[in-house]
Amino acid sequence: MAKQQPTGIPIHVLEIPTTSVQLLVPSASVAEVVNVRDFTRVPQMPKWCLGVIAWRSRAVPVISFETLLGDAEPWIGPKSKVLIFFPIPGRQAFEFFGVLSTSEPQPHNIAMTSEMAAKSPRDSQYIASGLNIRGRVVGIPNMEALKQAFYPTA
């Protein structure tokens, strides 16, 4: 069988390493990657919200995707990063959020083929689907489910 040819224009994506699952997001959804700073814990927040960090004169909540998936809170080491995401569609322009990464995210340019479709690497409402990237299955975050988790009364 002939190898499937890519369809469409290549997309620039970032692979986000976590201890639970590798995540894949469009690089255009990430405003900046920053070194981990001290988190300010916020009382009454869910366990998956590690706290807030100061970023460009804003208090940005930072989540642990691992804890959101039901795993243990990850160890924050010297290579850990926080990816600052632009607000989820439908939210206010100032509602940035951060995701903890175990190390520097890896950039890729991908052009989709039907062979890349894969079963989700985790059975979770927060993973929309899986994608086979260079022989590894990565998870695509479900932004609608994240929006419901972040803003349950909205």
Find the domain containing 124 and state its range: 12-150
37-76 confidence digits (pLDDT tens): 788 999 999 999 999 999 999 999 999 999 999 999 898 9
Q: Kindly indicate the confidence band of residue 30, based on its pLDDT and cuts at 50, 70 and 90.
A: very high
Contact 100, 84 (CB under 8 A): no
- H or E segment to which residue 148 belongs: helix 143-150
Residue 6 lies in a domain: no
Residue 2 lies in a domain: no
Residue 79 lies in a domain: yes
**Tokens 């959101």 label which residue?**
68
77-126 confidence digits (pLDDT tens): 999 999 999 998 888 888 999 999 999 999 998 887 666 776 766 788 99
Give the closest residue to 69 by CA, choosing from 124, 17, 143.
Answer: 124
Q: Which two tokens stand for residue 1?
A: 């069988």
Contact 128, 22 (CB under 8 A): no
Rounded average pLDDT over 19-35: 94
**Total domains, the chain:** 1
CB burial string 95-116: b at 16+ within 10 A, e below? bbbbbbbbeebeebebeeeeeb
pLDDT in the model for residue 2: 47
Q: What is the CATH number for 54? A: 2.40.50.180
Q: Kindly indicate the confidence band of residue 1, based on its pLDDT and cuts at 50, 70 and 90.
A: very low
68 burial class (0-12, 13-18, 19+ CB within 10 angstroms)? buried
Name the region of 20 (left: φ>0; alpha: ψ -120 to 50; beta: rest).
Answer: alpha
Q: Kindly indicate the confidence band of residue 152, based on its pLDDT and cuts at 50, 70 and 90.
A: confident
Residue 7 lies in a domain: no
